[in-house]
């Protein structure tokens, strides 16, 4: 190389090997280099064998003594040390495979969180990157605390690891949408005013179009809305997640009927009215015990917003329950018939499954 020539290989090579080659090319011994640099022979020997790292000061001295730029030496050192760290990390990752087994691999692959044909250590790296943590200990400290703050059903098998996948996917989807549409500041008053406009959307023939309109209305109140697929072991129907200063309502197309979809939406809106910015929440609709006051309040809001109890009581007193009567009452209330059916089923006015043909399927 010529004076202060820079060499930048794309692979990791021990800087000591390059130093030995450079000395051989110049017919120079390590002892002579030590004298030229006023450094002990032991220091030069340790650099040559990789026991000592090349510091910026040493790199400058090598540049002057050998004519190879300091940038070259520092680049070699940085790449080599990074490669060593990654090799050690791969060894450590083998110990993480037990941790990774807590997650539903089928969901991880189908959602392209990890590559199907990747090795297990590589999948562990991809999973850690998905969650934005460096190791399982970091996952426990961050995501472990998040999932522990959620109410999980005691009646259904629930995995906090699966719930974390569901929450993280919602978070990432919300962040992607936030890049396209900036939400205004959250306004509870504006959200209250929107409720009468949201309810009639349940009657739309195209559910997807109705959800798009609901998303637009909610955005005007500073509220985001995302729909994601469910995760095995995470029987969550909805959640409120505060992201970058705004509340985001997350819905799962889990039940695949219009009554559950709209009830979940209004339930989460109820949480915003009841809890404000107090905390994130996630719930399971099949857990009917509703032990917490805030859950009862959110449920009560959704029931009244979709179908006022007083109106329902008057209708039940004045007629029999049949398909025609349900349709007429739904028309009068400006809601979908499926919402009336779902309410009657939850209140045990009719058996589960009766009149389910009046509910509309929601494509997942």
What is the 3-class SS of 314-330, one letter each residue?
Answer: HHHHHCCCCHHHHHHHH
Q: Could you give the CA distance from residue 162 to residue 147 in angstroms, rounded to a whole number? A: 10
How high is the pLDDT of residue 290? 43
**Which residue in 292, 280, 301, 279 sits closest to 170, CA to CA?**
280
Domain residue spans of the chain: 15-89, 94-147, 151-358
Place 1 in a pLDDT band, splitting at 50, 70 and 90: very low
Pick 159 or 337 by higher pLDDT. 337
Q: Could you give the CA distance from residue 130 to residue 276 in angstroms, rounded to a whole number? A: 29
List all residues 6 or more positions away from 312 whose beta carbon is below 8 Å from its beta carbon: 343
How high is the pLDDT of residue 181? 83
**Which residue in 272, 297, 300 sits closest to 194, CA to CA?**
272
Place 154 in a pLDDT band, splitting at 50, 70 and 90: low
Three-class DSSP category at 74: helix
Place 347 in a pLDDT band, splitting at 50, 70 and 90: very high
At residue 224, φ and ψ (nearest 5 deg) are -95, 160
Mean pLDDT, to the nearest integer, of 13-33? 94
Q: In this model, does residue 20 exceed pLDDT 90?
A: yes
Q: What is the pLDDT of residues 62-119, one digit of tens each?
A: 999 999 999 999 999 999 998 888 887 777 777 788 889 999 898 899 999 999 999 8
Q: Which H or E run contains 296?
A: helix 293-306
Q: Could you give the CA distance from residue 106 to residue 307 in angstroms, rounded to a whole number? A: 39
Pick 217 or 238 by higher pLDDT. 217
**Tokens 């030229």 map to which residue?**
36
DSSP E strand boundaries for 195-274: 224-228, 238-243, 246-252
Q: Which H or E run contains 306?
A: helix 293-306
How high is the pLDDT of residue 2? 44
Q: In this model, does residue 240 exceed pLDDT 80?
A: yes
Average pLDDT, the chain: 86
Q: In this model, does residue 274 exceed pLDDT 60?
A: yes
Homologous superfamily of the 15-89 domain (CATH) = lambda repressor-like DNA-binding domains (1.10.260.40)
Q: What is the pLDDT of residues 70-84, one digit of tens each?
A: 999 999 999 999 888
pTM for the full predicted model: 0.73
Q: In this model, does residue 21 exceed pLDDT 60?
A: yes
């Amino acid at each position: 190389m010529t004076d202060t020539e820079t060499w930048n290989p794309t692979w990791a090579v021990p800087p000591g090997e390059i130093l030995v080659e450079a000395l051989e090319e110049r017919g120079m011994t390590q002892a002579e280099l030590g004298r030229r640099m006023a450094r002990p022979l032991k220091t030069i020997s340790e650099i040559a064998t990789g026991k000592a790292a090349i510091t910026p000061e040493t790199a400058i001295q090598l540049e002057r003594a050998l004519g190879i730029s300091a940038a070259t030496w520092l680049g070699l050192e940085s790449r080599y040390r990074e490669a060593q760290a990654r090799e050690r990390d791969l060894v450590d990752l083998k110990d993480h495979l037990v941790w990774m087994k807590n997650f539903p691999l089928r969901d991880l692959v189908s959602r392209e969180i990890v590559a199907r044909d990747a090795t297990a250590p590589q999948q562990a790296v991809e999973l850690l990157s998905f969650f934005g943590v460096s190791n399982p200990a970091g996952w426990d400290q961050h995501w472990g605390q998040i999932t522990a703050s959620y109410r999980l059903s005691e009646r259904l098998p629930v995995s906090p690891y699966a719930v974390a996948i569901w929450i993280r996917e919602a978070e990432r989807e919300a962040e992607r949408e936030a890049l396209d549409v900036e939400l205004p500041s959250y306004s509870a008053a504006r959200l209250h005013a929107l409720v009468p406009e949201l309810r009639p959307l349940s009657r739309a023939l195209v559910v997807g179009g109705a959800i798009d309109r609901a998303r637009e209305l909610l955005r005007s109140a500073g509220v985001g809305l995302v729909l994601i697929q469910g995760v095995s072991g995470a029987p969550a129907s909805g959640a409120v997640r505060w992201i970058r200063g705004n509340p985001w309502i997350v819905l799962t197309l889990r039940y695949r009927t219009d009554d559950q979809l709209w009830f979940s939406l209004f339930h989460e809106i109820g949480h915003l009215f009841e809890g404000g910015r107090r905390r994130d929440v996630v719930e399971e609709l099949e857990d009917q015990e509703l032990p917490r006051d805030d859950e009862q309040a959110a449920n009560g809001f959704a029931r009244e917003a979709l179908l006022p109890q007083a109106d329902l009581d008057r209708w039940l007193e004045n007629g029999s329950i049949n398909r025609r009567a349900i349709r007429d009452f739904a028309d009068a209330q400006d809601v979908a018939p499926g919402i009336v059916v779902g309410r009657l089923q939850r209140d045990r006015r009719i058996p589960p499954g009766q009149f389910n043909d009046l509910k509309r399927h929601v494509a997942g």
